[in-house]
A and B are shown apart, each in its own frame.
Chain A
Amino acid sequence: MSDFAGLRVALSALQAAQRGVDVSSQNIANANTDGYSRQRVDLVNVGAPAVPAIWSTYNGTGGGVRVDAVTRFRDAFMEIRAALEHGSMASLDQASTTMNNIQQLFDEPSDTGIQAQLSNLWSAFDTVANNPAEPAARTQLLETATTLATSINGVSQKLTQQRTDTISELGATVADINQMAQSLAQLNQSIKANTIAGLPVNDLEDQRDLLANKLAEASGASLHATNFNQVNVVLNGTSLVQEGAAQTLTVDSSGSPVVLRWTASNSIATVNSGKAGGELDAINTTIPSYLTKIDNVATTLRDEVNQLHGAITGSIDPTVQDQSGAGNLQVDVGLDGGAFQTVTVAGADWSGAGGAAALQTAMQTAIDTAIGAGNATVTVTGGNGNPLAVSVVPTGTHQLQVRATGANAGFATLLGTTPIGSDGIGGRAFFTGTDGLTLAVSNAVANNPSAVAAGTAAGGPLDASNAISIAQLSQSTTGADTVYRQLIVQLGVDTQTATNRDQIQQASTKSLDNARQQVAGVNTDEEMTNLVQYQHSYEAAARVMTTIDSMLNTLINSTGLGH
């Protein structure tokens, strides 16, 4: 051991303390940097040479200290778990946002929501029943019905719009995923190259982990650590990022359901989690299910009102089933808004056993003659001591209107229970439309208050029995009110569930993030302590150097022949 060895030991200590202070200052500088992992200097003492040299001896005092590595604190397994948790949190966040957005479309409970408008409609029918001769009551009814239809249209429109918006958002998410996958692949390449070259990769790895976590959050992919400190990203069995290579995804919204495809192979990419998974679920499941539900409200309302408003029916009492002396019974029938044609049925005795069949044949033939075959179907049942039940149903999408021919009693006799407007015409639908978006007051009734069928063909000019029946739909247990309330309770439960699941996932993600932070996060107190510690080491090493300097001074200047 040379006399100057002590100086080199002190120098190594100074250098080590210097590195320690450098690393602490880096840690403090990045205390608030997202994704930064704290670093620590790993020191090793420089000991005896492994292979003793022949002409020198080792005196056992050691050769100082050396910085072995700067280690990054990060738990790789926790990162993989965190990616999964963040993926499901993003998906549940999206689900909760979707449900809350849908919920905002329904103004319930309130005095102005669809429920209130439904009861206003039934009450408007009551008002018509109270004042059948009053056009104002009918106009008010039509206004109320139009308002209700418009409200239902509005909800459908906004749901459809929300779906379209979510598809655009999905496009942005996928663009983000593609860009992040690309960056991640590049980082993987750099990390691999640096690792092979033996260069530090701590900061690159921090960037990579942050990016991988964001990628998992967006796509719901899982992370897999691989050789040379690289990370692979796998989406349901297919690699999104494989070492230095990244694949891209595209949104295919041409069909239903909307899907993501691998750009290279055009095959479908299964995405169940992450923001993209949540958005796909909203687009393909959640929003369509509420569109179906509001469609169901619309069609139920349309059917139950039309059933009472537009049916063409008759009920012939046994006492008047013998019409053999009545001559020709005539009814005017108009097909699809065309001119009315007179249907003539020769009066006969329909009271016997074959009465129903005979009347059915007679009416069917007469209607076919008047408006052409295949446009309407006549059904007659009952009779033979019971009332004959007559029903005329237009086929397919045809519409059929009926009215009395002059003073002829055929209409009241054959089709007496047909609801008619104050203009004497029956068979008009009240609502039209096939779903929530298209529900409307029918053209035949809108702007034509006298077309509101408050009475029946046999009931007299001020008959309002039909308006009374329609108003009673408010009590229906299968009607629009009930269907709508079922929608709202489902909406409430779904929203509550989505919010709760999101909160639970947030809590578990938060505790995992805390655990990650406990490993990787910077604590300034700790760093201050390290700083003080290295400062003291530095001072001590400097003192060692001064001491050796002084010793050498004594040796060189005060010892020997010069005196």
Chain B
Amino acid sequence: MTSANSRIPDQMLITNSLSDLQASFAKLTDLQDQASSLKRLRKPSDAPADVVSAMELHAGLNRNAQYATNLSDASAWLGSADNALTSAVTQMQRVNDLVIQASNGSMDATTRQGIASEIDQIRQSLIGIANTQYAGRPIFAGTASGNVAYDQTGHYVGISAAVTRNIAPGQTVQVNVNGDTVFGSPPNDLFTTLAAISNAVRTDPTQLEALQTTFATDTTNVQSQLAEVGARFQRVSTLQSQNTADNLTMKQNLSNIEDADIAQVMVQLQAQQVAYQAALEATAKAIQPTLADFLK
């Protein structure tokens, strides 16, 4: 600050020492703040670009937590649909067996009556499956607000529409399957077909052959919807593990940007403390003596 052969007035010595000490103390305070908060970024001016990255990551983590909630909701919806449809397919195979059995002309009326009753039971059971609920909401009823997708008579009362979830940035998944898509829409729906089959078994087995074809179409339809649900379920599961991984990556990145490197901060803090003490001692020594101390 001063040239080699300049005068150094007392006031200058004091003000310079003071401002140097203050600068040193400010550095020390900053490092102490970093060490106690464990954060490198505490205000936008610390590193504007990094602060914005940190904000994006904070927002990303926040949204990611919501995506995780949405994903488990989606997974539950699709899981319920998958279980329901798997069970439906099993029961429909049983119907198929019974129809083949009933098509055998040698069967007596009582036996056919029994088969028809079983088919009626299965129809009721399938209506129950079509009314499967998740969290109080019938999953095959679209956006309808009622408690069921099909009434007791097997009549569709849902409103077919997509129920979707945001599951990742820019990605949505449809978590429902509409009842009429799975079970067909009247009059070509599964429940009408089953009623007709039951009736045919009871009264006129000759109609069964035609009904069997219709039923086969219904079965294929349910199976293909099951496959569709399975595929979506798979996608949701993949995204769930992706979500967890993303969470970890974002936390890691945020920590890299935002957190203080503790070892580095501690070493710097130590060094700064030593420097500050040295400055204090040097100042104390420099300020004390004047010529007055040595003149008699």
| CB–CB A109/B58 < 8 A | yes
Within 8 A of A (CB), among B5-28: 6-12, 14-16, 19
Task: Mark A468-479 against chain B: 1 for CB-CB distance below 8 A, else 0.
Answer: 100110110000
Cα A42 to Cα B43 with chains together (Å): 58
Instruction: Choose the segment among B63-71, B109-117, B206-214, B274-282 that binds chain A (4+ C-beta atoms closer than 8 Å).
Output: B63-71
B202 within 8 A of A: no
Contacts of A420 in B (CB 8 A): none
Task: Mark A169-207 against chain B: 1 for CB-CB distance below 8 A, else 0.
Answer: 000000000000000000000000000000000000000
Cα A123 to Cα B73 with chains together (Å): 14
Cα A526 to Cα B69 with chains together (Å): 79
A108 within 8 A of B: yes
B4 within 8 A of A: no
Q: Which of B41, B63, B142 contacts A123 (CB 8 A)?
A: B63
Task: Mark A78-104 against chain B: 1 for CB-CB distance below 8 A, else 0.
Answer: 000000000000000000000110011
| CB–CB B166/A514 < 8 A | no
A532 within 8 A of B: yes
CB B259 to nearest CB in A, in angstroms, measures 11
Within 8 A of A (CB), among B187-227: none
B1 within 8 A of A: yes
Task: Mark A13-35 against chain B: 1 for CB-CB distance below 8 A, else 0.
Answer: 00000000000000000011000
Instruction: Choose the segment among A236-244, A376-384, A490-498 that binds chain B (4+ C-beta atoms closer than 8 Å).
Output: A490-498
| CB–CB B44/A521 < 8 A | no
Contacts of A108 in B (CB 8 A): 43-44, 51, 55
Within 8 A of A (CB), among B168-202: 169-170, 172
B251 within 8 A of A: no
B45 within 8 A of A: yes
| CB–CB B44/A523 < 8 A | no
* Shortest Cβ distance from B290 into A: residue: A524
B231 within 8 A of A: no
Q: Which of B1, B44, B165, B169 contacts A129 (CB 8 A)?
A: B165
**Given A491-B44, A521-B7, A461 and B62 touching (CB < 8 A)?**
no
Cα A461 to Cα B172 with chains together (Å): 20
Cα A242 to Cα B1 with chains together (Å): 36
B292 within 8 A of A: yes
CB A209 to nearest CB in B, in angstroms, measures 15
Task: Mark B22-63 against chain A: 1 for CB-CB distance below 8 A, else 0.
Answer: 000000000000000000010111111101101110110011
**Given A522-B9, A528-B292, A528-B295, A461 and B51 touching (CB < 8 A)?**
no
| CB–CB B137/A460 < 8 A | no
Q: Which of A119, A130, A525 contacts B63 (CB 8 A)?
A: A119
Max count, chain A CB within 10 A of own CB: residue among B55, B73, B290 = B55
Contacts of B69 in A (CB 8 A): 126-127, 130
Q: Which of A99, A518, A522 contacts B6 (CB 8 A)?
A: A518
Contacts of A481 in B (CB 8 A): 59
Q: Which of A126, A129, A521 contacts B10 (CB 8 A)?
A: A521
A339 within 8 A of B: no
| CB–CB B144/A496 < 8 A | no
| CB–CB B66/A115 < 8 A | no
**Given A108-B44, A120-B62, A523 and B8 touching (CB < 8 A)?**
yes
Task: Mark A397-419 against chain B: 1 for CB-CB distance below 8 A, else 0.
Answer: 00000000000000000000000
B163 within 8 A of A: yes
| CB–CB A109/B54 < 8 A | yes
CB A126 to nearest CB in B, in angstroms, measures 5
| CB–CB B51/A489 < 8 A | yes
| CB–CB B137/A133 < 8 A | yes
CB B65 to nearest CB in A, in angstroms, measures 8
* Shortest Cβ distance from A462 into B: residue: B143
| CB–CB A521/B9 < 8 A | yes
| CB–CB A488/B63 < 8 A | no
B266 within 8 A of A: no
| CB–CB A103/B137 < 8 A | no
CB A185 to nearest CB in B, in angstroms, measures 28
Within 8 A of A (CB), among B272-296: 290-292, 295
* Shortest Cβ distance from B39 into A: residue: A109
Q: Which of A31, A130, A517 contacts B70 (CB 8 A)?
A: A130
A529 within 8 A of B: yes
B256 within 8 A of A: no
CB A217 to nearest CB in B, in angstroms, measures 16
Cα A463 to Cα B164 with chains together (Å): 9
B244 within 8 A of A: no
| CB–CB A468/B164 < 8 A | yes
A122 within 8 A of B: yes
| CB–CB B10/A32 < 8 A | yes
Contacts of B172 in A (CB 8 A): 468
Cα A532 to Cα B8 with chains together (Å): 20
Cα A496 to Cα B46 with chains together (Å): 8
A291 within 8 A of B: no
A511 within 8 A of B: yes
A485 within 8 A of B: yes
| CB–CB B55/A485 < 8 A | yes
A106 within 8 A of B: yes
A452 within 8 A of B: no
| CB–CB A465/B291 < 8 A | no
| CB–CB B58/A111 < 8 A | yes
Cα A489 to Cα B56 with chains together (Å): 12
Task: Mark B68-107 against chain A: 1 for CB-CB distance below 8 A, else 0.
Answer: 0110010000000000000000000000000000000000
CB B153 to nearest CB in A, in angstroms, measures 22
**Given A468-B166, A491-B44, A528 and B144 touching (CB < 8 A)?**
no
**Given A108-B44, A118-B59, A492-B48, A129 and B7 touching (CB < 8 A)?**
no
| CB–CB B290/A489 < 8 A | no
A464 within 8 A of B: yes
| CB–CB B143/A460 < 8 A | yes
B2 within 8 A of A: yes
| CB–CB B159/A499 < 8 A | no
| CB–CB A460/B142 < 8 A | yes
A510 within 8 A of B: yes
Max count, chain B CB within 10 A of own CB: residue among A111, A129, A130, A495 = A130
User: Which 10 A-B pairs rank lowest in CB-CB distance, beginning with the nearest?
Assistant: A521-B9, A492-B48, A460-B143, A492-B44, A495-B45, A460-B159, A461-B145, A123-B66, A119-B62, A109-B54
Would you list 9 pairs from A and B whose C-beta atoms are within 8 A, ordered by A residue?
A: A108-B55, A120-B62, A130-B69, A475-B170, A488-B44, A495-B45, A517-B11, A518-B8, A523-B8
- Extra pairs beyond A100-B45, A475-B169, A492-B47 (17, CB < 8 Å): A104-B43, A108-B55, A109-B51, A109-B58, A115-B55, A116-B58, A123-B65, A126-B166, A130-B165, A460-B144, A464-B163, A488-B55, A492-B46, A514-B1, A521-B10, A525-B290, A526-B7
